[in-house]
């Protein structure tokens, strides 16, 4: 009999009850006992849903009070010394201190979970002495069994993945750390075995990345030890997000099951199983339902895939499951009553994916006739969306194809444009600017809410926005900035704002997903051909320009960032969608230029976020990502200056691509890692305009003039002073008015000091 399972379920609750409970606790509005009880009820609700639908192997211990990697660190007592921790189970005060920081100690680092938009807390190993402080997996198993009679499948983060995602140790110390961690995993599994646990899901997504020979040997050693330590526990080593490169090494592990992603890793994993077969002593967890996308599955196609797998792996050794945890999708479509039916009927969030998993397992066990009605409904829903008017814009499809076929280049190379722009703009040496947004106060948010609710009409809201622009235009001039911005007070989110104004986008009512901690986002849905409708930013930017003689930058979000921060349609490649976005944004760029805006910033903070997990696929992705940016910006006059902004990343491995974007000026968020970026430029000359953020906007403190002067001096050692701009490292949306003004005044003062010191550098380098 084929079994069904999922790899995890969203923890936030259908109405974000989880988020609300956490934030109430942090604010001191509820006590710890109430938090514990609230989260327990949310957890049990999630288990009941899976039980009611008929999922056979229901995951437990996938629920978290913040993040699953942080949970693992806490379970092993890996707590940095700056926190007040004396051993034993980690108190919530310490747990949340590690995640969010305290008055006395900075938070642990947070970074992206592989190539998703989820972020995890990075464990700091350092000189920690790990012990098993509490068996969280055992507690979760007991709760599910005692409360609901569920024989749960505990989920734990595997030792190799946990180690590889941690910091605070040298590469040559990896084996020593495994020697410390693996006995704790063995103890955890032995305790689960003693309790009668049958299956344990050990998440090892690191196995879809390239492993060295030494790491493969470590992999074998780890699982030989764990299998020997708990022989009565069925371990399923679970991979996801991509295909595994070392299929033979993985399938030779002495474990009961192997989980593979047959969605995002379909081509590679299917090719491997066709070539090498599958061990007769193992169960295959076939991840056929997309745990990251929001679209209904082609159930007939999935059933064909499962039947092919069943010809290699007998059905009694197959588990039909999601490709990864459902953490990455919204909870349910039940509240999406405002969406067009043709779109709504094509969506599947977490609850709908549970039903799809169960259906496929039943269809594989009992035959197509058992689920014939559901197969037909799936087919009709998918076809209706594919044939809809929203996906039939032949003009947009032709324009995107033209972008793909033709080089995207400015009329002149940068050197010629730079000369034309200098003659046109007459900017001072070391020009100053900001990244785009200014503080969005409670007053701003309240006004926007009143407008959205219909309590304010368009005229009232426009007048309010003009008041905000007036204030900040005057303040920018008073502070002494050279290139000004309108402040973006009319915008909520840098992607949502544009999605609401472009054709081809839809917005859910309750499609929230966890980004990090209690931070939830509601990504736009790109469901149709993306098309420009009318100018989106011209009105506010033109108004701001009318208030000053200094240049005002138009502010847009770039095509790759919009793509990477949205749920996107599956019938086109991401490259094709990027070109549609580029074509729409090109029309906005041209509209700004025609309105007299001669500096236009097209932000791309998420370019690196979209890098594939496979290194061999990086070049292809970067090529079309760069082309999409250039296509959006290449039609302007030589005197029109194109800016972009990128958030901090490991630039050394994509510096060539950044240069290839051919922006006249790029600003980079680097204040926290200035040294690393300066080192990159010591080895790679950057010949275009650049602004390295000279102060960290994420901190409420006001940086001193001396601090920023030091930042400027370090940058000028390796960058051409003639091409250097001075700016904060990111937008100022989340900061207060007083601190923003004080920080910018200090930035301008530091700039004046640098101008005095480097007088003459603007003409001779």
- Banded pLDDT at 677 (limits 50, 70, 90): low
Q: At what angle do helices 442-452 and 458-479 cross, to 10 degrees?
A: 160
Q: What is the pLDDT of residue 701?
A: 77
Integer Cα distance of 669 and 277 in angstroms: 48
**What's the whole-number mean pLDDT along residues 308-314?**
96
Whether 603 has a binding-site annotation, put simply, is yes
Q: What is the pLDDT of residue 10?
A: 98
pLDDT of 758 > 80? The answer is yes
DSSP label at 615? G
Half-sphere exposure of 71 (CA within 13 A, CB side): 17
- Banded pLDDT at 765 (limits 50, 70, 90): very low
Backbone φ and ψ of 97, nearest 5°: -65, -40
Whether 662 has a binding-site annotation, put simply, is no
Mean pLDDT of the chain: 94
Residues 376, 72: contact at Cβ < 8 Å? no
Strands 257-261 and 283-289: parallel
Token match 């839809």: residue? 506
Q: What is the pLDDT of residue 681?
A: 75
What would the two tokens of residue 82 be? Answer: 């700056």
DSSP string, 512-569: -EEEETTEEE---EEEEEEE--S-SSHHHHHHHHTT-SS-BEEEEE-HHHHHHTSEE-
What would the two tokens of residue 272 be? Answer: 């491997």
pLDDT of 652 > 80? The answer is no
For residue 643, give the H/E element and its range.
strand 641-646
Enumerate residues 6+ apart whose C-beta is below 8 A from 749.
Answer: 705
- Secondary structure in 3-state letters for 630-670: HHHHCCCCCCCEEEEEECCCCHHHCHHHHHHCCCCEEEECC
- Banded pLDDT at 253 (limits 50, 70, 90): very high
- Banded pLDDT at 762 (limits 50, 70, 90): low
Integer Cα distance of 683 and 679 in angstroms: 7
pLDDT of 16 > 80? The answer is yes
| pLDDT tens digits, 21-54 | 999 999 999 999 999 999 999 999 999 999 999 9
Whether 512 has a binding-site annotation, put simply, is no
pLDDT of 684 > 80? The answer is no
- With left for phi above 0 and alpha for psi between -120 and 50, is residue 491 left, alpha or beta? beta
DSSP label at 429? S
| pLDDT tens digits, 140-185 | 999 999 999 999 999 999 999 999 999 999 999 999 999 999 999 9
| pLDDT tens digits, 93-127 | 999 999 998 888 888 999 889 999 999 999 999 99
pLDDT of 469 > 50? The answer is yes
Domain 3-68+109-387 of CATH type 3.20.20.210: yes
Integer Cα distance of 338 and 192 in angstroms: 46
What would the two tokens of residue 148 be? Answer: 């609901």
Q: Does residue 643 carry a catalytic annotation?
A: no
Catalogue the long-range contacts made by 395-398 (C-beta closer than 8 Å, 24 or more residues apart): 396/504, 396/529, 396/530, 396/531, 396/580, 396/583, 397/529, 397/580
More confident residue, 393 or 732: 393
**Degrees, nearest 5: CA angle 208-214-216:** 40
Q: What is the pLDDT of residue 676?
A: 61
Percent of the chain with pLDDT over 90: 86
- Banded pLDDT at 732 (limits 50, 70, 90): confident
Nearest to 382 by CA among 480, 477, 261, 299: 299
Whether 643 has a binding-site annotation, put simply, is no
- Banded pLDDT at 66 (limits 50, 70, 90): very high
More confident residue, 160 or 731: 160
Q: Which residues pair with 319 in a beta bridge?
A: 3, 285
pLDDT of 661 > 50? The answer is yes
Whether 730 has a binding-site annotation, put simply, is yes
- Banded pLDDT at 576 (limits 50, 70, 90): very high
Active-site pick, 119, 652, 698, 758: 698
What would the two tokens of residue 268 be? Answer: 């590679």
Question: What would you report as the CA-atom Rg of the chain, rounded to the nearest whole angstrom?
Answer: 27
CATH 3.20.20.210 domain range(s) in the chain: 3-68+109-387, 414-757
Nearest to 709 by CA among 693, 694, 728, 722: 694
Domain 414-757 of CATH type 3.30.2020.30: no
Whether 617 has a binding-site annotation, put simply, is no
Q: Model-level pTM?
A: 0.93
DSSP label at 663? -
**Degrees, nearest 5: CA angle 109-114-115:** 120
DSSP label at 703? P
Token match 């730079």: residue? 418
Token match 């198993």: residue? 141
**What's the whole-number mean pLDDT along residues 455-463?**
95
What would the two tokens of residue 661 be? Answer: 């974007």
Whether 268 has a binding-site annotation, put simply, is no
Lowest mean pLDDT among 244-253, 340-349, 436-445, 565-574: 436-445
Enumerate residues 6+ apart whose C-beta is below 8 A from 419.
Answer: none
Integer Cα distance of 544 and 538 in angstroms: 10
242 three-class SS: coil
**What's the whole-number mean pLDDT along residues 362-379?**
95
Whether 30 has a binding-site annotation, put simply, is no
Q: Which residues pair with 568 in a beta bridge?
A: 526
Burial class of 288 by CB neighbour count within 10 A (0 to 12, 13 to 18, 19+): buried
Q: What is the pLDDT of residue 412?
A: 97
Whether 436 has a binding-site annotation, put simply, is yes
CA 705 to chain centre: 34
Backbone φ and ψ of 685, nearest 5°: -70, 130
Strands 119-121 and 110-112: antiparallel
């Amino acid at each position: 009999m084929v079994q069904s399972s999922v790899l995890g379920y969203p923890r936030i609750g259908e109405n974000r009850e989880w988020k609300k409970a956490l934030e109430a606790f942090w604010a001191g509005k509820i006590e710890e006992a109430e938090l514990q009880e609230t989260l327990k009820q949310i957890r049990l609700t999630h288990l009941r849903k899976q039980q009611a639908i008929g999922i056979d192997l229901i995951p437990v211990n996938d629920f978290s009070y913040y993040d699953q990697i942080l949970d693992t660190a806490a379970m092993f007592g890996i707590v940095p010394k700056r926190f007040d921790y004396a051993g034993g189970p980690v108190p919530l005060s310490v747990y949340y201190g590690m995640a969010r920081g305290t008055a006395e100690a900075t938070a642990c680092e947070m970074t992206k979970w592989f190539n998703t938009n989820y972020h995890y807390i990075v464990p700091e190993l350092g000189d920690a002495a790990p012990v098993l402080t509490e068996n969280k997996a055992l507690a979760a198993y007991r709760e599910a069994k005692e409360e609901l009679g569920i024989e749960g499948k505990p989920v734990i983060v595997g030792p190799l993945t946990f180690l590889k995602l941690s910091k605070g140790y040298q590469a040559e110390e990896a084996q020593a750390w495994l020697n410390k961690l693996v006995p704790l995993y063995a103890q955890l599994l032995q305790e689960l075995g003693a309790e009668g646990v049958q299956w344990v899901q050990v998440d090892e997504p690191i196995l879809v990345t390239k492993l060295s020979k030494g790491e493969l040997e470590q992999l074998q050693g780890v699982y030989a030890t764990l299998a020997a330590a708990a022989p009565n526990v069925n371990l399923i080593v679970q991979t996801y997000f991509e295909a595994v490169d070392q299929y033979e090494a993985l399938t030779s592990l002495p474990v009961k099951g192997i989980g593979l992603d047959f969605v995002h890793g379909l081509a590679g994993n299917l090719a491997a199983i066709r070539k090498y077969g599958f061990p007769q002593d193992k169960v295959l967890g076939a991840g056929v339902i997309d745990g990251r996308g929001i679209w209904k599955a082609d159930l007939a196609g999935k059933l064909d895939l499962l039947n092919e797998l069943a010809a290699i792996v007998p059905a009694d050794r197959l588990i039909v499951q999601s490709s990864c945890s459902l953490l990455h999708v919204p909870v349910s479509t039940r509240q999406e009553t405002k969406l067009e039916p043709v779109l709504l009927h094509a969506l599947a969030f977490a609850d709908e994916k549970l039903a799809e998993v169960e259906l496929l397992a039943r269809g594989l066990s009992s035959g197509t006739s058992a689920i014939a009605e559901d197969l037909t409904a799936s087919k009709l829903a998918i076809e209706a969306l594919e044939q809809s008017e929203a996906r039939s814009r032949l003009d947009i499809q032709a324009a995107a194809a033209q972008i793909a076929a033709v080089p995207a280049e400015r009329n002149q190379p940068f050197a010629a444009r730079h000369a034309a722009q200098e003659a046109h703009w007459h900017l001072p040496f070391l020009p100053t600017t900001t990244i785009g947004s200014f503080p969005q106060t409670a007053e701003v948010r309240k006004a926007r809410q009143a407008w959205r609710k219909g309590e304010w009409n368009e005229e009232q809201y426009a007048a309010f926005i003009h008041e905000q622009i007036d204030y900040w235009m005057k303040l920018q001039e008073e502070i002494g900035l050279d290139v000004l911005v309108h402040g973006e007070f009319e915008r909520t989110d840098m992607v949502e704002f544009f999605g609401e104004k472009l054709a081809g986008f839809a917005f859910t009512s309750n499609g929230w997903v966890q980004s990090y901690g209690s931070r939830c986002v509601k990504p736009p849905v790109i469901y149709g051909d993306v098309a420009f409708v009318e100018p989106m930013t011209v009105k506010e930017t033109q108004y701001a320009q009318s208030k000053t003689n200094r240049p005002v930058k138009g502010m847009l979000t770039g095509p790759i960032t919009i793509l990477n921060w949205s749920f996107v349609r599956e019938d086109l490649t991401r490259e094709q969608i990027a070109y549609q976005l580029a074509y729409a944004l090109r029309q906005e760029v041209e509209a700004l230029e025609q309105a007299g805006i001669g500096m236009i910033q097209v932000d791309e903070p998420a370019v690196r976020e979209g890098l594939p997990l496979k290194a061999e696929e990086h070049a292809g992705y970067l090529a079309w990502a760069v082309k999409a940016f250039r296509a959006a910006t290449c039609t302007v006059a030589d005197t029109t200056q194109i800016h972009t902004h990128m958030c901090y990343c490991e630039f050394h491995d994509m510096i060539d691509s950044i240069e290839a974007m051919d922006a006249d000026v790029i600003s980079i968020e680097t204040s926290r890692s200035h040294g690393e970026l300066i080192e990159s430029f010591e080895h790679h000359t950057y010949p275009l305009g650049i602004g390295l953020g000279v102060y960290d906007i994420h901190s409420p403190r006001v940086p001193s003039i001396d601090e920023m002067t030091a930042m400027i001096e370090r940058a000028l050692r390796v960058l051409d002073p003639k091409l250097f701009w001075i700016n904060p490292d990111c937008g100022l949306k989340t900061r207060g008015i007083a601190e923003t003004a004080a920080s910018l005044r200090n930035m301008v003062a530091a700039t004046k000091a640098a101008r005095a010191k480097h007088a003459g550098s603007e003409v001779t380098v």
